[in-house]
Amino acid sequence: MDSSSDHSTAQKLYGVIPAIELNSWESEELLDCLTELSDSQQDFLLHQISVIWPVSHSLCLAFLEAVRPALSCLDKEQFATWVRGILDRYESQGLQEARRFMHDLDNHFICTLKGQTGLLLSTIKNRLSLYLRGVAGRPFDLETAPLPGTDTTSIFLPRNSTLFGNVDANFLVYKLLASLQWAFIRGNLYCHEVDDEEALFAKLGRPMPSEPCSAIFLTRFFDSFAKPETAKAIYHFLQSFRALAFLQKRLPGLMRDSQIYFRTIAAELSVNLHQNELLSAEYAFILKHLCHNLPLELPSGPGWHECRPSAWWQDRDLIFVDTNRIYATSKDSSDRPLAQPPYFLGSFLVDKAHARRLSRRKEVEQQFIEALSIRILPALSKKDAKSPQESPTAERPQQPDSGANLTIRLPEPPDDQDKIEPIHDRVVRHIRLDDQKIDLDHKLQELGREIMDDLGNLPQLYIDSAAQMAAGRSYEPNMNTPEQEGTALKGALLYDEWDFRRQGFRHDWCHLLEKNIHPSGGTFISSALSEHRGVIKQLKRQFEQMRSHHRFVGRQRDGDDIDLDALTEALADRQAGLPPSERLFVRQLRDQRDIAALFLVDMSSSTEGWVGKAIKESLLVMAEAMESLGDRYAIYGFSGMRRTRSEVFRVKEMEEPYNETVQGRIAALGPKDYTRMGPPIRHFSKILAKVEARIRLLIILTDGKPEDYDDYKGEYAIEDTRHALIEAKNAGIHPFCITIDHKAQDYISHLFGEVNYLFIDDVKKLPRRMPDMYRILTS
Amino acid sequence: MGTQRIEEHYIVTEPYYRVHGQELTIALAAYEHQIPLLLKGPTGSGKSRFMQYLAWKLGRPLITVSCHDDLSTSDLVGRYLIRGGETVWMDGPLTLAVRHGGICYLDEIVEARKDTTVVIHPLADDRRELPIEKRGEILSAPPEFMLALSYNPGYQSVVKDLKPSTRQRFIALELTYPSPDIEAEIVQHEAGVSKEEAEKLVRLAEMTRSLEDAGLQEGASTRLLIHAGTLIRSGIAPRQACKVTISEPLSDDHELVAAIDEMISSLY
């Protein structure tokens, strides 16, 4: 390479990445990589670098290390897809995962192109979780793991399903695996405790394990055998049998469809199974039934034929008795190695399920205490005489009343006519605090039931903690803290952002906070109202005329009343020998405006001064006029800095009345930071889409281009905003833009479309033009 | 336009209705004490069928009005018509029921405009009278007359709700979906399918109903199950039958429809 071409390459590179951002070794590395390529390849690669560099510098350098093989074997389209894949992985799983993805081009990418990766869980997660929710009647989290399994809250499934060449069959595999895990949960796979453990061990003729032993019943049970792993495998086999038989009964269609899967598995298994291994014949036996969709049977060996699987549902000790017996009969051969269970049965995660149960217990405890403390707070605050520190105590009703002032009332025995499952009568319905009965709401009842199911009782500690928490709360100066500027109303919401360079979303990229704005006093409102008095009066009259009104239409075929004029005419006609009209009625018609509008106001720092004042005045005039129209409307401001702090400020909610507070908030609108338009547009599209109205308007008031402190500027910002607006339109919302910018023409019609904007060159006209625009827009 | 004849509104043969709670006892008590009835419940849960059954049980004519937002007071009370140059008064369905001591059933009352709903107020309290303004007449309802309304509280719409002044005149009965075995019995009877088939349909319905928190507006109603059963009985493949009667009518959302289809293919 001669130095002149080196030089031009460097020029190109600095056109993409400012030289100032690069240290010397980075720029050397980049240049080394580029100079070896042809011009067109250089340009192409530089474009990709421009996409990756702003996301992460180290990712970009790692990308260049790995780029050579990809450049040689992928065409441009594929290459762009590959880069998208890298960015997705970087954003979802971090640099390490992105590196792995880049370096293992063959496994991670080429095979996708050839259609060999099968079906990714992430692509069908939504559908599968809806399916599972319907089938199971409750939601589960779907997570990826090498082997299928469950901890009773989450269901683990492989990251992709590659067995078959087509999507439907691979989806079927997921469906089967997920349904089977649900069936395991239904079959109480991780039986946490039995009614009477001592009696069970006695029945089995095994000694109770001595100290120290595991906190988990199942582990204690397995450990009581000489070969715990064998006992575990037998138990898991029986549970698998039960779950599969349950599925055959409950979801016959699934099991019939799955024959194709079982046959493929069986073919593989016949190679891998060794007759010598323990349980291998049994696995093959049930698999044979599954392949032909025959009702499942247990193998007919010694020990097996005494099993009564159908009775397992009634007596939960029985499956342990059967495990014990099968273990005993296969004792002579227990030196044989254990067979690997077929893949679809998954892994048996005793410890994980236990850990999950404990963490859930903590969660429920927290939620219960929190909710209960809020619940008993009003009652507590009524008794001022008592010291709030004095903690009320809880009593179970079956215990003698010891004069405690807080009792938990368990439900009375259920009515005879309603057959209630035993689980239902563990509902805690109310709590007694002194003489006041405090009903527990639905959520507390649910939590209470979960605790009772788990622990068998409601621990005293929970109620004490709740009472203490409530006592602490009642000392707080004011429960309804006054509105303060900057108080976030709820946690940050995550929104995607559109990256035009990769033609894809950056998922959950922006954090949006909804905040209060503290109304300000001052003279702004009164002076603005008096200044625009004339306009407001005129607008009010105009808007009044647009209101919905009743009107009578005469000469109808039917209606509420007789149209006397028409009748007279008809009678006259008849007298005259003419055919009389049949349109003799008056009918009342009602024209209804069904419009919801949301005004979104730019609060970026550039609105300081005249522009900001004009915007505020326009909002005020607009609000005044809207009051006489009766349309529902909301006003919000937006600003923010960087993707992690997009903020929207609530001036007026949709159903909130227009009053002095709202006026004060309009007055308090002030310049803040930058104009990142995407997140607020996505946020309010979501809100507006839920408003029931014939027409939903999103009116954006801005003074310039979308722009943020970070790389959200130029084409990137415009394309993201444009995409957000397209999303809004797809949600049935009409976006409209009012812009105060001298250089607006070049991008604004690209953003909003030819007719969906109003361009105002003189800011003083805004208070007049804005209501005008609204009138035209909605009539 | 012919005058409506009350005889047409009698229900002669016993309609099929499976009582699954206290609803009949309460409705009969309400009738005896001349208190109007408000039926709440999701769509297709048997509100209209229950009214037919009640009317048959009481031996009274049933006059059903399906409410809509164009329904005016005259549509309910009656109006003058012109026939051959003369005006003729014609009773509306409400007046007809009051005159003949029938049962007037206003189906989906929230669909009617609020000003229309107000005409039933004097009928629905202890005055039990219907003023017919155009004729300057006040009709007193005989003891046999009963007023019944129905609505579906599941539509969480601000616009469509009953005014408290209206709802507080009624005894309210909530007709939810019956328990699985009773629902299966109903499907079995109405669609003429086997017990197993009916039970399977009910299981499917329960699956769809648990999607109500996940974006589905309402789960499959008993009525949809009967449709599905009827198609299955007429020889249409169950998966197909359930798709056209259950998953497609329930939603337009692709993911939801696909998920329900997967449930169907798991069951059948």
Biggest alpha carbon–alpha carbon distance for chain B = 67
Contacts 24+ apart (CB under 8 A), B80-87: B80/A562, B80/B134, B81/B1, B82/A562, B82/A567, B82/A570, B82/A584, B85/A571, B85/A574, B87/A562
Instruction: Indicate the residue of B159, B207, B213 with minimum beta-carbon distance to A692.
Output: B159
Residue type, A92: S
CB contact under 8 A, A257 and B265: yes
Instruction: Indicate the residue of A130, A171, A561 with minimum beta-carbon distance to B214.
Output: A130
Residue type, B217: Q
B80 CA to chain A: closest CA distance, Å? Answer: 8
**pLDDT tens column, A561-603:** 888 878 887 888 887 777 888 888 888 776 667 788 899 888 8
A588 and chain B in contact, CB less than 8 A: yes
In degrees rounded to 5, what are phi and psi of residue A314? -85, -45
| For chain A, percent of residues with pLDDT exceeding 70 | 82
**Ramachandran area for residue B141 (φ above 0: left; ψ -120 to 50: alpha; else beta):** beta
Residue A482, domain member (yes or no)? no
pLDDT(A429) > 70: no
Query: Rounded to an integer, what distance in angstroms lies between the CA atom of residue A350 and that of residue A236?
Result: 11
Among A residues 378-407, those touching chain B with beta carbons less than 8 Å apart: none
Residue type, B264: I
Note the ipTM here.
0.81
B156 and chain A in contact, CB less than 8 A: no
B85 and chain A in contact, CB less than 8 A: yes
Kindly list the residues from chain A whose CB atom is less than 8 angstroms away from the CB atom of residue B267. 251-254
Q: Best of A125, A128, A135 to disrupt the B interface by mutation (most B CBs within 10 Å)? A: A135
Q: What is the pLDDT of residue A386?
A: 43
B1 and chain A in contact, CB less than 8 A: no
A325 CA to chain B: closest CA distance, Å? Answer: 35
Residue A143, domain member (yes or no)? no
Same domain, A534 and A566: no
Q: Give me the total of CB pairs closer than 8 Å, taking one residue from chain A and one from chain B.
A: 76
Confidence of residue A400 (pLDDT cuts 50, 70, 90): very low
Instruction: Give me the residue label for tokens 């979906």.
Output: B177
Confidence of residue A391 (pLDDT cuts 50, 70, 90): very low
CB contact under 8 A, A137 and B207: yes
**pLDDT tens column, A212-231:** 677 788 888 888 888 888 88
Please state which of the ranges A516-525, A627-636, B181-190 shows the lowest mean pLDDT. A516-525
- Tell me which chain B residue has its CA closest to the CA of residue A573: B85
Residue A394, domain member (yes or no)? yes
Average pLDDT, chain A: 77
Residue A689, domain member (yes or no)? yes
pLDDT(A549) > 50: yes
Query: Rounded to an integer, what distance in angstroms lies between the CA atom of residue A462 and that of residue A375?
Result: 14
Residuewise pLDDT in 10s, chain B (268 residues): 345 688 889 999 999 999 988 999 999 999 999 999 999 888 888 999 999 999 999 999 999 999 887 787 888 988 777 777 677 888 999 999 999 999 999 998 888 877 788 888 999 988 999 998 878 889 999 999 999 999 887 654 434 567 778 888 899 998 888 999 999 999 999 999 999 999 999 999 999 988 876 667 788 999 999 999 999 999 999 999 999 999 999 987 788 899 999 999 999 8
Same domain, A400 and A344: no
pLDDT(A536) > 50: yes
**pLDDT tens column, A240-288:** 999 999 999 999 999 999 998 998 888 877 766 666 778 888 888 888 8
pLDDT(A476) > 60: no
Structure tokens at B123: 């009928």
pLDDT(A713) > 80: no
Same domain, A722 and A574: no
Domain boundary among A317, A348, A379: A348
A407 vs A45 pLDDT, higher one? A45
Residue A495, domain member (yes or no)? no
Residue A73, domain member (yes or no)? yes
Same domain, A303 and A392: no
CATH of domain B6-174: 3.40.50.300
| Pairing mode of beta strands B146-151, A757-759 | unpaired
How is residue A341 annotated by DSSP?
Answer: P
Please state which of the ranges A118-132, A373-387, A543-557, A711-725 shows the lowest mean pLDDT. A373-387
Instruction: Indicate the residue of B207, B256, B267 with minimum beta-carbon distance to A252.
Output: B267
Contact A741, A703 (CB under 8 A): yes
Residue A531, domain member (yes or no)? yes
pLDDT(A604) > 70: yes
A377 vs B20 pLDDT, higher one? B20
Residue A484, domain member (yes or no)? no
Instruction: Indicate the residue of B73, B263, B268 with minimum beta-carbon distance to A134.
Output: B263
Q: Is the dihedral of CA A243, A244, A245, A249 positive or negative?
A: positive
What does the DSSP assignment read for A280-314?
HHHHHHHHHHHHTTPPP----STTTTT--GGGGGT
Q: What is the pLDDT of residue B146?
A: 95
Total domains, chain A: 5
Contacts of B233 (CB under 8 A, 6+ apart): B191, B192, B193
| Pairing mode of beta strands B37-40, B171-174 | parallel
For the CA atoms of A238, A240, A242, A243, the dihedral, rounded to the nearest 10 degrees, stands at 160
Structure tokens at B116: 């229309």
Query: Rounded to an integer, what distance in angstroms lies between the CA atom of residue A69 and that of residue A79?
Result: 11
Same domain, A200 and A279: yes
Contact A354, A215 (CB under 8 A): yes
B90 and chain A in contact, CB less than 8 A: no
Q: Report which of A470, A458, A461, A468 is spatially closest to residue A409, judged by C-alpha positions.
A: A458
Same domain, A648 and A762: yes
CB contact under 8 A, A131 and B262: yes
Q: What is the pLDDT of residue B161?
A: 62
Q: What string of H, E and C letters represents the secondary structure of A17-52?
A: CCHHHCCHHHHHHHHHHHHCCCHHHHHHHHHHHHHH
Same domain, A412 and A375: yes
Domain coordinates of chain B in residue numbers?
Answer: 6-174, 180-267
How is residue B243 annotated by DSSP?
Answer: I
Q: What is the pLDDT of residue A427?
A: 58
pLDDT(A187) > 80: yes
CB contact under 8 A, B80 and A562: yes
- Tell me which chain B residue has its CA closest to the CA of residue A584: B82
pLDDT(A755) > 90: no
B267 and chain A in contact, CB less than 8 A: yes
Instruction: Indicate the residue of A175, A571, A692 with minimum beta-carbon distance to B266.
Output: A175
A508 CA to chain B: closest CA distance, Å? Answer: 21
Confidence of residue A503 (pLDDT cuts 50, 70, 90): confident
Confidence of residue A3 (pLDDT cuts 50, 70, 90): low
Contact A462, A448 (CB under 8 A): no
What does the DSSP assignment read for A101-149?
HHH-HIIIIIHHHTT-S-EEHHHHHHHHHHHHHHHHSS--EEEE-SS-E
Kindly list the residues from chain B whose CB atom is less than 8 angstroms away from the CB atom of residue A130. 211, 214-215, 255-256, 258-259
Please state which of the ranges A589-603, A629-643, A737-751, B133-147 shows the lowest mean pLDDT. A737-751
B74 and chain A in contact, CB less than 8 A: yes
Kindly list the residues from chain A whose CB atom is less than 8 angstroms away from the CB atom of residue B266. 131, 135, 175, 179, 251, 253-254
B203 CA to chain A: closest CA distance, Å? Answer: 9
Q: What is the pLDDT of residue A590?
A: 67
Contact A629, A593 (CB under 8 A): yes
CB contact under 8 A, A253 and B258: no
Q: In sequence order, what E strands does B137-226 have?
A: 137-140, 146-151, 171-174
The domain of A460 spans 353-474
Kindly list the residues from chain B whose CB atom is less than 8 angstroms away from the CB atom of residue A257. 265
Contacts of B33 (CB under 8 A, 6+ apart): none
